[in-house]
Structure 1
Amino acid sequence: MSQPEPGHNQPGGQPQWGNQPHGGQPQWGGQPQWGNQPQWGAPQGWAAPQAGGQHRPGPHAGWPPGPPYGQPFYVAPPKPGVIPLRPLQFGEILDGAFQTIRRNAASMFGSALIVQAIGAVLIGLVTVGMVQLTESFEAVSSEAELADAMGPFFAFMAGTLGISVLIGFLGSVLQGVLVVPVSRSVLNRRTGFKQMWKLAAPRILPLLGVAALLTFGGLLAAAAVIGIAILLFTAMGPAALLIVLPLGLGSIVAFVWIALKLMVAPAAIVVERTGVYDGLLRSWQLTRNNWWRIFGITLVVTIMVGIIAQIVQIPVSLVSAAIGGVVAPHPDPESMTSTLVLTTVISTAIGALVGSVTFAFQASVSSLIYMDLRMRRDGLDVELMRLMETGSDPEGIPGGPTAAPGNPAWPSGGGPFPSTPPGQHPHA
């Protein structure tokens, strides 16, 4: 029985040789041509084999451009808005935050400016009062007068602390509100100032609750550490430093760790419409196995914001000093007070502007971290693609629950996203 020529083995599924005249040798003219072969992306056709040898695919006429045979085409994920619909990289988070602020300047920058202006006015008033109180110390001539002057001094110090707590409280609430324009920008939906607050209004009470819980929890923890340190110094003297120093460092580490674990709770409360407890639990679950990544992004963004703020404050300080020299070339108590008020107003106004921009940027980064965690753990990118294709709920918040009330497709206890098949939990 005739055998094919060496080098012409017949793989499985390949067309059989035709009639074999001339001693059983196959003839190229009688070999059937290859048909269209299925390939990923589009049907590909084989070119006719070259005479005198086997067919070798190559860059010649009839061979369409594309990936090697049997390999799928790479299709980039869609990017309808500020970020691509897939797990994000660090640069994409920063770029998405900048684009979000640019597209929603009125809602994001305006809201942050209101909060920063309130804090700047209060801090400016306390600063002016502290300076005037310090000048009154120069007229103190007895211990009784000093004791009387120390009361207002401690009151101003407590006021400064209270203002800082108030700004942190309002900032936590505003962080949850600003997730509305960020999530809508992912699908290229602009959000106005009024629309943002209208969408966030039903979630204000849970936001106030979680902000109060986080604020007072931090204050109680700080008070406990300070109280323990005072007791140790009272009982042990300077030797207590050996215990207080590690205790203080450990407290800072624990505070940062817990703060990052609960960082996306306001975003979860607004987008997923959860309560206070479920929002905190949801944040704890989303940040699991991603703490170091979140810490790195947050640290870099904080350093960037701090450097930008310092660069802006340098010329402000120089301008304030120049104004003081022009307004009061021969300083006296009255002119110094008026100069202080003028420079304080200028510095607080510029500080509020800079603070509003930096706060809006940090809130955008935090919201995009939340969206990234949802895409990594819940497959949120699939749900966003569905919303993009169908165009459903154009006035809502993307990423929220889409199932009707009472539908088991949406878990009430902060479970996996509806796009996750029942019984399956996506890995981080």
Structure 2
Amino acid sequence: MNDSPGWASPGSAPSPDGQTPGVPRPAEPADGPSAKWSKEQPPPGQWSAPTGPGHTPGRPAPGWNGGPPPGAWGRPPAAAKPGVIPLRPLGVGEILDGAVATLRTHWRTVLAVTITVSVITQIASILVERYLLPEPPVVDPDATPEEALEQSLASLQNSMIAMGPALLITLIGTLLTTAVLTVVISRSVLGRSVTLPEAWREARPRLPHLLGLTFLLPLGSAAIMTVGILPGLLIGGAGVLLSVLGGLGAIVVIVWLMIRFALAPPALVLERQGVIASLKRSAKLVQGTWWRIFGITALTVLISFLVSMVIGIPFAIMGFAVDGVSLGDFLDGGESPIGWPFLIITGIGAVIASSITYPISAGVTALLYVDQRIRREALDLELARAAGVPGYGTEPPGPVSTGG
């Protein structure tokens, strides 16, 4: 049974030719062949909302249960908004606003997660960068074309090695923040508060599955990139162009897959899905709306990048000033051009930036998941009922299988 209020498993989600058990729907009209109308009917314009025991409304009709006043029948009824978003299909601005509103409303819980994770990951990154990474290869400006190609390949190899530990640390940090923040956002949609221990207690059982998903996607991307560039690398100097074209093609495939599986983390956490089931679930929700998901995701990445630059550049300037290193020395390399003061100051800036961008990124992903389920599966009905919105019934949903 799904013990997370307001969320239903894929097995219980309505399909275009079916209906979800336990999710309220508008009552069928009683004007079929067996309906018998009374000879005495009320005058026109004096109908009232159906009342009495046994009536379980679905979406409240206009004018009933606090609908629009007389004279406003041309307008659609306002959607319920028990939490940070209205319970209806969302626009881009509402998704971004909901992510920011979650950070503002539950700032104690959100910042406790993001600051803790950011500090730990930044300390680990600084130590790895300072002590474990190999020295960058020296580039000879007077090298022959063959030597320049070898130096470029050596630099690429060094960069890949240097990115490995940083990527691993980032993935672990993203894993923890995604799990906890997804729970926080799911509660903020219902207008409910959640403490950090409560969010952690609910997210902790999903961490092994989320860990598998977190590593599966980058490993798959690396495999696709290897397939794209390896033939050109095996050919040698004449295959540089082939490697470039293969790499570009691999990037297109990777981006397509990343968007297709972008909603897998919230599906895994909120629906108690397994790794493969969450990937299939995401592909189903994204189907037909790939470009919309891509556009919103790209906009979120751009906003996060700009926020990181706005915060990080002043700290980098302060780091250069305190460390006594010029930008030219930094770009030229040399014997340990960067000292501890620069690493510490820029690390503080990175912690502040991550504390803001992590919740926005996780919030947009979770709200995109909610939005797609509202559009495809009328999840707004179940969310409204779970939030206690008048007119949607008060009985909890029936038992459903979680599929995970």
Q: TM-score, normalised by structure 1?
A: 0.66
Q: Secondary structure at the match of 2:77?
A: coil
Match of 1:346 in 2: 345
How do 1:122-161 residues align onto structure 2 when only pairs under 5 Å count?
122-129=124-131, 158=161, 160-161=163-164
- Return closer, same or farther for 1:263/1:136 CA change in 2, 3 Å cut-off: closer
Quick one: distance in 2 between partners of 1:83 and 1:339? 46
Q: Which amino acid in 2 is paired with 1:384?
A: L
String of CA shifts for 1:142-200, please: whole Å, max 9, x gaps: xxxxxxxxx9xx88963541231331244145323321110100111111111110111
Quick one: distance in 2 between partners of 1:324 and 1:41? 76
Match of 1:106 in 2: 108
Quick one: distance in 2 between partners of 1:41 and 1:338? 79
Q: Which amino acid in 2 is paired with 1:343?
A: F
Match of 1:86 in 2: 88
CA contact under 8 A between 1:108 and 1:178: conserved in structure 2?
A: yes
Q: Which amino acid in 2 is paired with 1:38?
A: G
How do 1:10-409 residues align onto structure 2 when only pairs under 5 Å count?
36-38=43-45, 66-67=70-71, 71=73, 74-129=76-131, 158=161, 160-232=163-235, 234=236, 237-238=237-238, 240-325=239-324, 340-389=339-388, 402-404=397-399
Quick one: distance in 2 between partners of 1:134 and 1:222? 23
CA contact under 8 A between 2:79 and 2:86: conserved in structure 1?
A: yes
**TM-superposed deviation, 1:135:** 12
Q: Which amino acid in 2 is paired with 1:319?
A: M
Quick one: distance in 1 between partners of 2:88 and 2:338? 54
**TM-superposed deviation, 1:116:** 2.3
String of CA shifts for 1:277-310, please: whole Å, max 9, x gaps: 2111111101111111111111111111111211
Quick one: distance in 1 between partners of 2:176 and 2:133? 32
CA contact under 8 A between 1:78 and 1:84: conserved in structure 2?
A: yes
- Return closer, same or farther for 1:115/1:224 CA change in 2, 3 Å cut-off: farther
CA contact under 8 A between 1:87 and 1:372: conserved in structure 2?
A: yes
The alignment yields a C-alpha RMSD, in angstroms, of 3.5
- Return closer, same or farther for 1:194/1:243 CA change in 2, 3 Å cut-off: same
Q: Which amino acid in 1 is paired with 2:70?
A: G
Q: Say how many residue pairs are matched.
A: 317
Q: Secondary structure at the match of 2:339?
A: helix
String of CA shifts for 1:291-348, please: whole Å, max 9, x gaps: 111111111111111112112222112212322349xxxxxxxxx9798111211111
- Return closer, same or farther for 1:366/1:40 CA change in 2, 3 Å cut-off: farther
- Return closer, same or farther for 1:39/1:106 CA change in 2, 3 Å cut-off: same
- Return closer, same or farther for 1:104/1:36 CA change in 2, 3 Å cut-off: same
CA contact under 8 A between 1:266 and 1:279: conserved in structure 2?
A: yes
Q: Which amino acid in 1 is paired with 2:44?
A: Q
Q: Relative contact order, CA 8 A, sep 6+: which one is greater?
A: 2
- Return closer, same or farther for 1:110/1:96 CA change in 2, 3 Å cut-off: same
Q: Which amino acid in 2 is paired with 1:112?
A: T
CA contact under 8 A between 1:97 and 1:365: conserved in structure 2?
A: yes
CA contact under 8 A between 1:268 and 1:274: conserved in structure 2?
A: yes
Match of 1:3 in 2: none
String of CA shifts for 1:22-62, please: whole Å, max 9, x gaps: xxxxxxxxxxxxx84226778xxxxxxxxxxxxxxxxxxxx
Quick one: distance in 2 between partners of 1:280 and 1:206? 12
CA contact under 8 A between 1:123 and 1:160: conserved in structure 2?
A: no
**TM-superposed deviation, 1:258:** 0.4
- Return closer, same or farther for 1:135/1:213 CA change in 2, 3 Å cut-off: closer
**TM-superposed deviation, 1:128:** 3.0
Query: Structure 1 runs of 4+ off > 4 angstroms?
Result: 39-42, 130-137, 154-157, 336-339, 411-414
Q: Which amino acid in 2 is paired with 1:198?
A: R
| Structure number with larger C-alpha Rg | 1
Quick one: distance in 1 between partners of 2:160 and 2:121? 15
Identity of aligned residues (%): 33
